[in-house]
Amino acid sequence: MNRRDRFSTSFAQADRLLLWIYFILTLVGWLNIYSAVYDESHHSIFDMQVNYGRQLVWILTSYLLVAMVMISDSRFYSTFAYIIYFLVLILLVAVIFIGKEVSGSKSWIQYGAFQIQPAEFAKLSTSLGLAAWLGNIKRRFEDFSTQLVAYLMIFIPAVLILAQKETGSALVFASFILVLYREGMSGLILIIGLVSAVLFVLALLVNKYVLISLIALLLSVGWFYLKRHRKKISIWLVLAAFVVSSVFVFSVDYVFDRVLQPHQKTRINVLLGKEVDLKGAGYNVHQSMIAIGSGGFWGKGYMKGTQTKYNYVPEQSTDFIFCTIGEEWGFVGSLAIIGLYVVLIYRLMQLAERQRTPFSRIYGYCVAVIFFFHMAINIGMTIGLLPVIGIPLPFLSYGGSSMWAFTLLLFIFIKLDAHRHEYV
Amino acid sequence: MPVTQLSQQRKFAQRRYVLSGIVVVVAAIYLLKIFFMQVVSDKYKILSDSNVRRVVTIYPARGLILDRKGRKLVANEEAYDLMVIPRQVQNLDTAELCRLLDIDRKTFEARMKKAKDFSRYKASPFVEQIDKETYGFLQEKMYKFQGFYVQNRTLRKYPFPVAAHTLGYVGEVNPGEIAADPYYKMGDYIGKSGLEKFYETQLRGVKGEKIVLVDVFNREKGSFENGKYDKPQKPGLDLETSIDLDLQLLGEKLMQNKRGSIVALEPATGEILAIVSSPAYDPNLLVGRVRGANFNKLSRDPLKPLFNRAIQATYSPGSTFKLINALVGLQTSAITRDSRFSCQGKGSVPIACSHSHYSPLELIGAIEQSCNPYFWGVFRTTLQKTSEGDIHKGYNIWRNHVMSLGFGQAFESDIPNQAKGNIPSSNYYDRYFGPKGWNSLTIRSLSIGQGEILVTPLQLANQAAVIANRGYYFPPHVVRKINGVPTKWPRKQSSIDPRHFETIIEGMYEVFQGASGTARWYRLENIEACGKTGTVQNPHGKDHSLFIAFAPAQKPTIAIAVVVENAGFGATWAVPIASLMMEQYLTGEVKRTELLEKMSNANLL
Ligand SMILES: [Zn+2]
């Protein structure tokens, strides 16, 4: 097959629904950035001085990337998965030394006028690496070594990104847990993860001794209940659970005080309502909620958002782009955007399940959960349900690196899916 | 692939439902929260409105007040108020703001509390009347002071420090005034006295409103909905007064260091040409932030500079009132111009004459000589003739004639707070002496303008105008045009026939032009004037010196009253001052500079 044929068959076979969602999201994203930063003094939509001008360039170059992915050989990705993984890992290390500092985080590599953020591409490379590792049919997930390597493959780039103070991007690596779960990881880990999160929040809010008493009460009630129904449960397991959760509760303070950065502590405190910080994080969320909340059912209309238009919402074209949607398009728009993401994620999972190779399936799940985490963390932050974590909304937020990275992430899967019949 | 592994794979495939379940649950929670924020709750809409829309009041320039030749008596000056919307204040660098405004922390907190007590959501003045330099500094740093903005205002400015009492002053509205007229909002200005008060609705114009969008950096980003909801302002109307600035300036100069007043009128129209009350104050003292302190200082001054003597001080009219008695006598046919009453000089009973002269005199001579016994005769005869046995009847006839000449009441004109003076009613004497306890003799001091009668300098000037007009007057007023449109005032006809005025004018003519007239030393060059002096005994000190006059005798264009308190004999002070005033008005200059200097330099305080 020559390149032209490959290109046309790829598009012919590509999933129409995903293509449409991608196209709609990039378009909506651009329109909203235009609305958010529109200023009468700039007229051309290609004006490189303003965000919407640059974003248009990012979108158009992303379409070029789409074409390149479509032309490429679909086997390229599984073949070179490890190499790509290690190349990005090197970049992540390099950025610590040669990186350029942008607003507090040293995560950019600059080459002339061109600058990229390797962290954005680490999600892609980790997805590929993980898919290659777990997708090898000779490997069994139950093996300890398989799991250990998988965890390390996730953990190492995450730590490197955390070292660049890109907390949001690092947090996204937690989404791979969901992929591991799909591939056979014990569901208990998910439950323990959920319980720890709840305990963490409660430990910050409630008196620790009250909390521990509550845990003891819950565990003994549970134990008696199970016993009465003649379920076998060891008293030692219950006691162990009690000890572990008590230690966890008491270590929360230590983690909170020593491990987290001051601004992160503030963000969490603001979210929990323990602190009013209308200067920093609290201010952003407050303004963001005003913008969204004032949108009403139908919204204020395109370009008519007052909160976003007059710079009340900070970072409104990047992390807080959802405010523009909420304010100008109202509940209808919010529903449409969240709906689009849900359909996108659901479709990705659906298509992942129909893959013939574990590599494609795992990669497909990686893509789905990455989008899910980005959507959940970003929107959760703008509506005040999660602490402020700087993380882009896929295809909507302003930014070249994220635009390219998400495009590659999605279209590599679309490519793999289009050629799923070619694999054994 | 081994079978076990395949079945396990199938089992794990079921986990996609758990995963998609998580996605759907998270999306549902988010949408619920968003639905609550956008549709159920109002909170964010309200916050959003106060975030970005700022209603800025556009204060129209207050109307100017001009003199009769178009010269500015009251002008405007740009001023700036720093306003605050307490709820929008955040991230405030209090120290820097205090430093810029030159206020201390305590003042800052007190004002902030006051603003919060008024409203957290509405703007109220934080610092008023910031000077231009401070405004300049402030403007550059406004982005730092969220919740604050600068409101343009105009302040009054007086290019000439004259006629302060008449012009009045402007001050901030008080709660009572806000309650009385919902037009006013806290921090608005309102005319508190004088013309500023009387013409408040014309001068203030109509406030406008501009809704501007403001971004988070406290920068205005243009109008809201292209100004659809803005209310335009209407500028205040200009008042053209009848005051002649040159005459007013001269009057103030002549009256400096004296207690008293001058009122000059144009008889044909009732227009006030000059109105002086002394001691006076510089109207610029009652402008802006210094007003409160200065007002307190002025109100404690024992010389009472805030007291507008020209309209509020009441005096016994003294000899000037003899003219009135003569007019009533002539009108009631109790006397004629040839009537004679004898005078025994200082030995006259019941009223002595102040000086000796040929006796008996006829009316014109009696006016010229100001003979007390003569006017007692006139008064007695008048009451005798009209009473027909009942003093009440006669007295009421006399009183009605007097009041038709403008006494005993405030003029219905644009001068607020006039004193009424007093022409006692017969009831008053009934109460005092009993209904049968009084007769013309009891109230004989009325015949020479003493006793219970009280008049204001304004009424005295009006008396001169009525006589000059031969029987009618227009209520003395200050404003003759509002934005070019003439003001209208009702013509008041007195109950005295014009021919009787001719008679007494002959007497007044002799006061100036007669060989032994009391004002003969202060005749005007080439202009014949008429006048009447008065010296009023004052229980608190030296006599008050009174003089009324008009000129030219045949076609008068100026009528004037001068009162100099505690100055002694009328002719010594009031006459020369009136004479100089008439010279200024009629010739446009004062040639008798020596007299001018002497009069203005005299200190009678
Ligand atoms: Zn006499």
Kindly state the average pLDDT of the residues B185-205: 90
Nearest to B279 by CA among B596, B603, B594: B603
- Same domain flag for B426 and B348: yes
Task: Output B145 or A43, whichever has higher pLDDT.
Answer: B145
Which residues in chain A touch residue B217, judged by CB atoms under 8 angstroms apart?
Answer: 311
In a domain, B301, yes or no: no
A331 touches chain B (CB under 8 A): yes
In a domain, B288, yes or no: no
Query: Across the beta sheet with A100-102, what order do the strands follow?
Result: A100-102, A105-111, A114-116
In a domain, B253, yes or no: yes
Percent composition of chain A: helix, strand, coil (DSSP 3-state, to 5): 70, 5, 25
Return d(Cα B67, Cα B65) in angstroms, integer: 7
Task: Output B125 or A107, whichever has higher pLDDT.
Answer: B125
B325-371 tens-digit pLDDT: 999 999 999 999 999 998 888 888 888 888 778 878 899 989 888 89
Structural domain boundaries enclosing B30:
3-41
In a domain, B540, yes or no: yes
B52-87 tens-digit pLDDT: 667 778 888 899 999 999 999 999 888 888 888 877
B40 touches chain A (CB under 8 A): no
Measured in angstroms, the CA of A36 and the nearest CA of chain B are apart by: 13
Which pLDDT value is given to residue B265?
95
A165-217 tens-digit pLDDT: 788 888 899 999 999 888 888 788 888 888 888 887 777 777 778 888 888 88
The one-character DSSP state at B62 is P
- CB-defined contacts A:B, below 8 A: 125
- Same domain flag for B429 and B547: yes
* Facing residue for A289 by CB, picked from B13, B31, B44: B44
Structure tokens at A84: 């790509």
Q: Do A306 and B5 touch (CB under 8 A)?
A: no
- Same domain flag for B23 and B10: yes
Exposed / middle / buried, residue A174 (Cβ in 10 Å: 0-12, 13-18, 19+): middle
Kindly state the average pLDDT of the residues B456-477: 95
Q: Do A346 and B45 touch (CB under 8 A)?
A: no
Return d(Cα B8, Cα B585) in angstroms, integer: 119
Measured in angstroms, the CA of A197 and the nearest CA of chain B are apart by: 15
Range with the poorest average pLDDT among A297-311, B33-47, B428-442: A297-311
Confidence bin at A255 (pLDDT 50/70/90): confident
Return d(Cα B196, Cα B192) in angstroms, integer: 7
- Same domain flag for B260 and B202: no
Question: Helices B391-404 and B322-331 meet at what angle, rounded to 10?
Answer: 110
Helix (H) or strand (E) holding A105: strand A105-111
Which pLDDT value is given to residue A424?
47
- Same domain flag for B116 and B159: yes
Best to test chain B binding among A290, A308, A366, A367 (most B CBs inside 10 Å): A290
Percent of chain B with pLDDT over 70: 95
Which pLDDT value is given to residue B1?
47
**Which of B480-488's residues contact partners 24+ apart within 8 Å by CB, and which partners?**
B480/B68, B480/B240, B480/B241, B480/B242, B480/B269, B480/B271, B481/B239, B481/B240, B482/B199, B482/B202, B482/B237, B482/B238, B482/B239, B482/B240, B483/B63, B483/B237, B483/B238, B484/B240, B487/B414
Which residues in chain A touch residue B24, judged by CB atoms under 8 angstroms apart?
Answer: 342
Return d(Cα B530, Cα B527) in angstroms, integer: 10
Decide which of B187, B216, B241 is a domain's last residue.
B241
- Same domain flag for B22 and B117: no
* Facing residue for A293 by CB, picked from B27, B43, B216: B43
Q: Which residues contact A113 (CB under 8 A, 6 or more apart)?
A: none
Which residues in chain A touch residue B18, judged by CB atoms under 8 angstroms apart?
Answer: 181, 187
B90 touches chain A (CB under 8 A): yes
Return d(Cα B511, Cα B529) in angstroms, integer: 9
CATH code of B529's domain: 3.40.710.10
In a domain, B523, yes or no: yes
The rounded Å distance from CA B455 to ligand 1 centre is 24
Which pLDDT value is given to residue A272?
67
Which pLDDT value is given to residue B491?
94
The rounded Å distance from CA B371 to ligand 1 centre is 4
- Same domain flag for B345 and B237: no
Exposed / middle / buried, residue B455 (Cβ in 10 Å: 0-12, 13-18, 19+): buried
- Same domain flag for B364 and B478: yes
Which pLDDT value is given to residue A102?
64
- Same domain flag for B131 and B274: no
Structure tokens at B193: 């006295």
Question: pLDDT at residue A91 above 60?
Answer: yes
Which residues in chain A touch residue B144, judged by CB atoms under 8 angstroms apart?
Answer: none
In a domain, B389, yes or no: yes
Which residues in chain A touch residue B53, judged by CB atoms under 8 angstroms apart?
Answer: 306
CA A111 from chain centre, in angstroms, equals 27
Between the ranges A33-42, A306-315, B539-548, where is the mean pLDDT highest? B539-548
Q: Do B5 and A140 touch (CB under 8 A)?
A: yes
Which residues in chain A touch residue B15, judged by CB atoms under 8 angstroms apart?
Answer: 181-182, 187
- Same domain flag for B441 and B520: yes
Confidence bin at A111 (pLDDT 50/70/90): low
Range with the poorest average pLDDT among A148-162, A284-298, A394-408: A284-298
Question: pLDDT at residue B266 above 90?
Answer: yes
- Same domain flag for B79 and B116: yes
For residues A15 and A347, the answer to whether their CB atoms sit within 8 Å is: yes
Query: Across the beta sheet with B260-266, what order do the strands follow?
Result: B271-278, B260-266, B558-564, B541-551, B530-538
CA B334 from chain centre, in angstroms, equals 42
For residues B162 and B262, the answer to whether their CB atoms sit within 8 Å is: no
Confidence bin at A273 (pLDDT 50/70/90): low
Residue with tokens 């605050």: B84
ipTM entry: 0.89
- Same domain flag for B371 and B457: yes
In a domain, B396, yes or no: yes
Task: Output B437 or A106, whichever has higher pLDDT.
Answer: B437
Task: Output A258 or B279, whichever has higher pLDDT.
Answer: B279
Kindly state the average pLDDT of the residues B206-223: 75
For residues A340 and A25, the answer to whether their CB atoms sit within 8 Å is: yes
Question: pLDDT at residue A277 above 60?
Answer: no
Helix (H) or strand (E) holding B50: helix B43-52
CATH code of B94's domain: 3.90.1310.10
For residues A318 and A310, the answer to whether their CB atoms sit within 8 Å is: no
Task: Output A110 or B114, whichever has higher pLDDT.
Answer: B114
Kindly state the average pLDDT of the residues A134-160: 88
Angle at B174 between CA B173 and CA B178, to 5 degrees: 75
Question: pLDDT at residue B276 above 60?
Answer: yes
In a domain, B47, yes or no: no
B515-530 tens-digit pLDDT: 888 888 899 988 999 9
How many domains is chain B partitioned into structurally? Answer: 3
Nearest to A240 by CA among A265, A223, A262, A224: A223
A188 touches chain B (CB under 8 A): no
B23 touches chain A (CB under 8 A): yes
Range with the poorest average pLDDT among A49-58, A89-98, B422-431: A49-58
Give the count of alpha carbons within 13 A of B427, CB side only. 0
Judged by DSSP in three states, B124 sits in strand
A236 touches chain B (CB under 8 A): no
Question: pLDDT at residue B119 above 80?
Answer: no
Kindly state the average pLDDT of the residues B275-294: 88
CA A129 from chain centre, in angstroms, equals 18
